[in-house]
Each structure stands twice: as structure tokens, then as C-alpha cells.
């Protein structure tokens, strides 16, 4: 368990919904320079996907619970995100009455992940549902991280939050593009 006083002290505070103060790529470079090799190796597990697809996979790689990565925060994060995704898949199959679809059993623990999936299904706007889910993810990450901003756990949480901020920034780009298309169509309609 490392103490990363210098690294933690130089990081800007992150607020959900704001633009990221740095890219995740820049942060990874900075963190890898200052962390022990064993702690830095776990940065590769800081992803928004609980178990990224591997070559030859035939279904969601998170259908089965993964093995521990030897970090309490990352293990809890992977299980939370896995629960969220399995519940989303189950809820979508029920909502759209998809029969004959083989799904892994959706766990009910952690309950906040299962509830987030259920509540997101009630939101009509896909964009608003994604923002709701990312906010739930942010809150989960905050609940998993250590109180010390100088631990490796807090460094992993910081990277996960940066990834969520980058994802949210991409939503804003999409919102702007959709608005542009609407305005452009309106202008063309008036010109005719």
C-alpha cells in the first residue's frame, strides 16, 4: 500500500459534470512516473468496463464474476459496474419483451447499482438516462475510495472519475451536434 503525497497534492479537485482538468492519458503518464510498479500496474484495471472484451469472446465478458485484482476499490468497482450492467440488460429485456434472450442472472447486490439500473429505465431520454447512470457511477466510486487523497485507492478513483468526465464531455459534443442539425434543418425549411 503506497502513499502518494506528491501525486495526490498536485491533482486538481474533480467535480462531476465539469470538463476534465486533464486527459486520462496525461494523468496515466503522470501517475505511472510516480507510483510503484505494482500499484501502477493496477492502473490498467481502471476502466469503465468491468471486464473488457477479449479476442474470441462470444458474449458479455462480465456475465461471470471476475477474479480479484488485489485492490479493494477496483474489486468493488468491477462488481458494482457488473451488477449495474447485468440489471440494465435484464430490465431492458423485460421492458422490450425480448423472449429467448439468454442473460446471466442479474445480482441484487450492491443494491444501489441494481436500483440505478431500475431507475434509469424510467427515464425517457437516452441522454438523460446515461447522465443519471454516470452520476450513480461517480457516487459509487466516491463511496469506495479511501478518505486519504494520498493512497493508491484514491489515485485509481481519480482515474475512474476522469474517465467519467471524458465520457460526459463526449455527451456534450453530441448534444451540440444534435442541436446544430436541428437548427440547420430549420434554416433549410425556412429557405424553402
C-alpha span between 130 and 148 (Å, rounded):
29
Q: What is the pLDDT of residue 190?
A: 64
Q: What is the pLDDT of residue 150?
A: 86
Where along the chain do its domains lie? 5-12+20-186
Q: What is the pLDDT of residue 181?
A: 67
- CA distances, 92 to each of 32, 145, 154 (Å): 39, 30, 33
Q: What is the pLDDT of residue 144?
A: 94
* pLDDT tens-place string over residues 6-30: 898 889 999 998 999 999 999 999 9
Q: Angle at which helices 72-95 and 111-121 pack, to 10 degrees? A: 30
Which segment, 1-5, 39-43, 50-54, 184-188, is predicted with the most confidence on average?
A: 39-43
Alpha-carbon torsion (125, 126, 128, 133), positive or negative: positive
Which residue in this structure is represented by grid cell 481502471? 46
Q: Is the pLDDT of residue 170 over 60?
A: yes
Amino acid at each position: 500500500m503506497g502513499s502518494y503525497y506528491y501525486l495526490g497534492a498536485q491533482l486538481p479537485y474533480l467535480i462531476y459534470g465539469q470538463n476534465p482538468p486533464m486527459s486520462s492519458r496525461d494523468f496515466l503518464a503522470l501517475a505511472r512516473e510516480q507510483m510503484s510498479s505494482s500499484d501502477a500496474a493496477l492502473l490498467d484495471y481502471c476502466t469503465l468496463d468491468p471486464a473488457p472484451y477479449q479476442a474470441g469472446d462470444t458474449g458479455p465478458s462480465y456475465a461471470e464474476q471476475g477474479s480479484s485484482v488485489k485492490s479493494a476499490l477496483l474489486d468493488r468497482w468491477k462488481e458494482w459496474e457488473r451488477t449495474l450492467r447485468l440489471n440494465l440488460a435484464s430490465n431492458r429485456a423485460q421492458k422490450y419483451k425480448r423472449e429467448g434472450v439468454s442473460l446471466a442472472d442479474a445480482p441484487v447486490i450492491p443494491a444501489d447499482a441494481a436500483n440505478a439500473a431500475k431507475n434509469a429505465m424510467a427515464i425517457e431520454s437516452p441522454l438523460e438516462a446515461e447522465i443519471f447512470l454516470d452520476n450513480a457511477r461517480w457516487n459509487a466510486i466516491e463511496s469506495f475510495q479511501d478518505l486519504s487523497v494520498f493512497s493508491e485507492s484514491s489515485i485509481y478513483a481519480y482515474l475512474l472519475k476522469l474517465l467519467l468526465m471524458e465520457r460526459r464531455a463526449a455527451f456534450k459534443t453530441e448534444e451540440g451536434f444534435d442541436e446544430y442539425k436541428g437548427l440547420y434543418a430549420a434554416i433549410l425549411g425556412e429557405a424553402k
